[in-house]
Amino acid sequence: MRTWPSRAALFAVPAVLLAGAATGCADAGQLHDAGLTPAIAVRPSPSLLWPADAPSSSAPSATASSQPPPSALPGITAPGDRIEDLAVATVLKQDPQLRPDERKALADCPSCLRTPQYRDLTGDGRDELITAVLPGDQQAYLRVYTLHDRQVVPILDLVVLPGFTADTVGADLVVHQQTTEATEIISTYAWNAVRLAFQGQNVVATGPAADAPLCTPNRTAPSAGPSQAYIPPRGPRPGAPSVAASPVPGAPAPVASAAPAQPTAVRSS
């Protein structure tokens, strides 16, 4: 004679499934309750600048943000109002802030200079020059220059890991550094009418554990400044509203703060 499962047995399996879903960060392969689905918003997408290199195990510090206003590079004038008309190597050689290993790399290792990238990071509708020099496997140098009255002005100077990546999010520059196999530091820099200033830092998990729902550590570091360690096509941007600041003469004011956008990826090899 055929027997049928009892009513209690029929409800046992759903109960077990619900119990597993409620655990959130359960073992891989089990159900996870990720809560309500967030609303979908259209945001800028990452735009690759340089291909990624192999990650390193530690990150050198970024240049301190408490600096005097930048001065124009001596001995160099653009033929017009486009910084793209200047040779990148010429710009770098005229920068008195270049480190000795950068100068040596420019002289002896042409491949150590990444292909120049151009993005509007000041909101004036004109592109800035983004450069990267990788003289070795210990650290790299990321620099950004803008043009003001045909004069070249440095607005960012960072020491980063050779395997760093970068992207633009709107007019912000976002720098990624893989500090360990499971940890990435993401730092954001924004135009403040004087230079690209450090805005904040996130530490996110990478690797296998980061794929589990609700189990990815993600914290925002204090905004006092980055630690010493650790940019995609787009159209011209309109000028930004003015804000209280001490700008480079004639430079546009920073863009008013708005809802954060998604990154436009930039990478270095």
Predicted confidence (pLDDT) per residue in 54-112, tens digit = 444 344 444 444 568 899 999 999 999 999 999 999 999 999 999 999 999 999 998 99
CA torsion 187→122→129→269, rounded to 10°? 20
- Give the predicted TM-score (pTM) of the model: 0.58
Predicted confidence (pLDDT) per residue in 142-194, tens digit = 999 999 999 999 999 999 999 899 999 999 999 999 988 888 999 999 999 99
pLDDT at 228 over 70: no
CA-CA distance, 176 to 188, in Å (whole number)?
A: 9
- Give me the pLDDT at residue 206, please: 81
- Give me the pLDDT at residue 181, please: 85
pLDDT at 6 over 70: no
C-beta separation of 155 from 141 below 8 A:
no
